[in-house]
Amino acid sequence: MRECDAGVKMGISSIGDVLDYVKSDSLKQKLTDCKRDHERLEQELRTLLNRYQDEGKEPNPMAKGMSWIKTNVKIALNESDDVIADLMTDGCNMGVKSLNKYLNKYEAADEVSKDMAKRLINLEEKITVSKPGYFYSKADGYEDIFKVSDIQNMTIESYNNTINSDPA
């Protein structure tokens, strides 16, 4: 549970670091929703940690510092939603990898702790992609409109009508 505490804090901090730079309303909403979900999970973790009289765990200062530097340098060089999406994807992938490592390492952990780790992994995976080829890092507003399942019925006319309309 302590690793989940550190991970959820890192996620909240990282999302907060980029939100002011996001241009796309759609991406901003997704990140805001994800941050809110992380904050809810943080409150649940706090309740459980208090029950165990545990102060929790802060993110590794070196990892947090390196994340902050990487974020700020990349955004200073290219303040775009592409960069932000890439940063978020990289961070989430690192979080998922770390949490899975701890789940495997502590197989005997209680079910509540394992459930918390799985829930945090699920949150992190919401902003990442499991299959290459289905992800474009730029959020343009059409990501909720175009669906893979619609491709077989799509015509050139329906495609053109969609891209010529406002995605909002």
Q: Inform me whether the pLDDT recorded for 2 exceeds 60.
A: yes
Q: Inform me whether the pLDDT recorded for 145 exceeds 80.
A: no
Q: Inform me whether the pLDDT recorded for 141 exceeds 50.
A: yes
Tally the C-alpha atoms within 13 A of residue 168's C-alpha that lie toward its C-beta: 6
pLDDT tens across 14-42, in order? 999 999 999 998 889 999 999 999 999 99
pLDDT value at residue 152: 78
Task: For residue 11, count other CB atoms closer than 10 A to its CB.
Answer: 26
Burial of 38-68, coded b for 16+ CB within 10 Å and e otherwise, reads beebbeebeebbeeeeeebeebeeeebeebe
Collapse the DSSP code of 137 into the 3-class scheme (helix H, G, I; strand E, B; otherwise coil) and give the result. coil
pLDDT tens across 106-129, in order? 989 999 999 999 999 998 888 764
pTM tops 0.85, yes or no: no
